[in-house]
Structure 1
Amino acid sequence: MTAMPLNHEPKSNAWTADFTIDCLVFAQFGIQAKNGMNPEKYMEQFLQAFTNPNGPVHVDRAIHQDIDEYVNHIFLAYWDNKESFENWNSTSPIAKYWDESAAPVEEIGLWREILFIPNDHIETLHSGENYDSGVSNFLPLTYTKVHEYWGSMRDRLKASRLESFETEYDKEMLEPVHVESIGKRIRIYPSDNICLIRTAQNWSQCSNEERNTYLELVEPTLKEGAEYIRQNPSETGCLSSKFVYELALNGDSLDKSCTIAYFLSLAHLEEWAKSHPSHLKIYHTFFEMLQMHNYATELALWHEVSVLKTDQAIFEYMNCHSSTGLLKFTNLFDAKVYPHMKGN
């Protein structure tokens, strides 16, 4: 049953991706480094690997400095079918890092978060017909009226007509623990219906005045909100959150950023977006920006939201600090510590 109000007519235009594919593979590969660590050879290996046969149809690059003062160099890779990913993954030169018989790297941290997303378990929303935003790099966009009301995100997920996307966990159960993960490789098996959002901003087409408004007014609240939900999982239902700046594949800066966050469920994401002060502050600063520029802005906004089952996700961390990704919830979710680490 749709939440769309009767005779709904949105005040602004929006577009959504048309999923003409059966399954999307979205893979994040992270290279984690602190002072004294040299990530360059690993970054070159990953970039080269993406050009191999059956490589991703699109790759974004990003950088994130986390709370533990590690710099995470991140590749956001998309495949338009599972078979191509599996063929690439089995032959890629970086596959050696995830082989169960191999010892973990020691001079750097590596992590990967891979999602196999059925086409009815993902939705997107774009403020314009911009074909440089995640899946829109290789999938068509179509105009949609399914936005500008609470519940529209769920309505855009086709599987919501048959599924509730409920989780067996309450957010109050999210009490992070310290996991000794340096020198180890750990795989996490999250609960069913974990929810991912990648929500992004592109100010490359903004005037200087609008750019300054965005960077001085809006961006600080985005970064504050991403950090708040990371620090307060039992209040927000957020499992992991990072605000990243996007880069060109050669490492040049871009006028793009995004927050990448996992929530216990779609309902937890919806609750945070609808009523939590940290998100309402973000919403209000965007509205203030619109008012300041007479509702005529060039800031491009978009997001991708997906809901996954346990067997549709791979979360694996090698030689990473204990706050990385889902490591801090190994007490809640099933986890496997591979038996070839130091001390075993």
Structure 2
Amino acid sequence: MASTIKDIARVAGVSTATVSRVLNHLGGYNEDTEKKVMAVAKALGYRKNENARSLVQKSSKTIGVIMPEVTTAFYGDIIKGIEDVAYEYGYSVILTHAGSQGSRIQESMNLMGERRVDGLIIVSVELHEPAMESLLSLDVPYILISTKTKREDAPYIKVDDERAAYTAVKYLIDHHHRTIGMAGANPEDPIAGAPRINGYIQALLDHGIKVDLNLIKAGDFSFESGKQAMQAFLEDQAKITAVFCASDEAALGIISACFERQISVPEDLTVVGYDNSKVSSMSIPPLTTVAQPLYEMGKAGCSKLMDAIIHHTSIESQVIAHELVVRQSVKKLS
């Protein structure tokens, strides 16, 4: 038969209230009492009934994560960062997918309400006003990762995608590339697509390079969209010397299409990616890419959320610094 708080109190010679305070780290007892209670609890094999405790406290000890339909490996490191922090606090994590372009966001919100999550993290999903109203109606702390909304009070963690894309294209220009294509971004995506395209365009304009919209091949950040972009460049007979890709997977699609056609990277075509996901260092050649600290973003987002849940603090937004990771996929032109 499982031991109870009353059993611990009887053996330790203290009140049940003192045992409860010790086990829940509420203070109001001395060090000797704490050691005695914990030793007796261990000896009796006591285990907290977290389910019963959560009902009393109206807490599920669960963090909800809503993310888009997964078509790339982008999310793995973010989720690992979230889970590592949540588990340190004794919280579970439940994931749900909001579908392509957030088509199932309402269903995801409803699920989180039914599961009585204590906090919510939304990754890379654009939230329109109805979704924001549903989110606020849950009345739990929340934070956005790699996305933001028009509401200034909605806390987020993300990289400045426009500046990061600018950095990558400027690096290509500094290596004497003048005819630079772009691949893999969805121009209708205001979170990651449009800002990265804008950064690409602005870098060209600031360096006196004419913008040719035919050199921008849209996509969904996937490997396949990179392959399709390279096919389109070839069909157009585009005289590009470099391609800036909106994701590492799109960049690998470009490299794969080049391999199939015996186009050497970087000797014949320079390629730069975005994200610094694990695949970027595994490609041949290893990929020069813009680094988003994905794992750190997940950890930071969950840490802020846990502080809000436990200490009732407000969550401050944070812009995370990007970095260009230089590998072997770029050739400097003479």
TM category (shorter chain) comes to under 0.3
TM-score between both structures, scaled by the size of structure 2: 0.26
* Bigger relative contact order (CA 8 A; separation at least 6): 1
Normalized per residue, which structure has more strand? 1
Normalized per residue, which structure has more helix? 2
